[in-house]
Chain A
């Protein structure tokens, strides 16, 4: 149980995989389409999609020789909570960055 939750956080705490989740929200994707969209290699794309699949976040349909990935509809809300949390933490660091930039301008006397 705990391990499952850990793999979930792990799955979501990667920028590429978060972008994939965002894209998967709108439609189904094949590895090739996703790789083109994200401008990363197909093996990398496959690896990330496999991690999302192993964490139980996406479904895969094998259609002829293609794998089509889709988001499980029930995961959208919890996903938003995680994204909100990360966005808030990122916003903190944005404030720090602005503060540092202002401090340096003051030091330079401009």
Chain B
């Protein structure tokens, strides 16, 4: 079983994972809309890609829908994302911004825009995937963590911060 290594550097969350697959295939999983629809999004969520222009400055607009009834808080919820590609180095690197948007592609100004840098490296064991999610500031990192968290979780990190500051 593969394990994910993750750590935080400043306001950047870094995750590393080794895939037993050729680098080209891993890269294609991120650069082909039909492939993305098969795996993108958290467990229990389906993704539909509405636009995908894979070049610097190009837009990727997609919608994730929760289809898992077990996730009662989220079941039926739609989450639209809009990404802009910044830098593409075939088979080895993709840099893009990741924003929360609506169905018309308007970016939600209240939620943070992250800059994602995905790298694909050949190793003797397979393809090493390194993903860096850079948040604009610590407040934003905090906000995104909260959104992905359990029901009823509001400003817990503020509380946590208050506790540890004592």
Residues in A lying within 8 Å of B, measured CB to CB: 1-2, 4-6, 8-10, 13-15, 55-57, 72, 74-75, 77-78, 80-82, 84-86, 88-101, 103-104
Q: 8 more A-B contacts (CB under 8 A) besides A78-B159, A89-B4, A96-B26?
A: A5-B142, A13-B8, A56-B163, A72-B163, A77-B153, A82-B145, A89-B13, A95-B40
List of A residues within 8 angstroms of B145 by Cβ = 81-82, 85
B156 touches A101 (CB 8 A): no
Q: Which residues of chain B (1-24) have a CB below 8 Å from chain A? A: 2-8, 10-11, 13, 15, 17, 19-21
Q: How large is the interface on B (under 10, 10 to 19, 20 to 34, 35 or more residues)?
A: 35 or more
B161 touches A1 (CB 8 A): yes
Q: Which of A1, A13, A101 contacts B21 (CB 8 A)?
A: A101
Q: Which 9 A-B pairs have CB atoms at the shortest separation, nearest pair first?
A: A56-B164, A81-B149, A78-B160, A99-B39, A100-B21, A78-B156, A91-B43, A85-B148, A13-B8
SS of B interface (majority): mixed
In the complex, what distance in Å separates the CA atom of A55 from the CA atom of B164?
A: 7
B29, CB-defined interface residue at 8 Å? yes
List of B residues within 8 angstroms of A101 by Cβ = 20-21
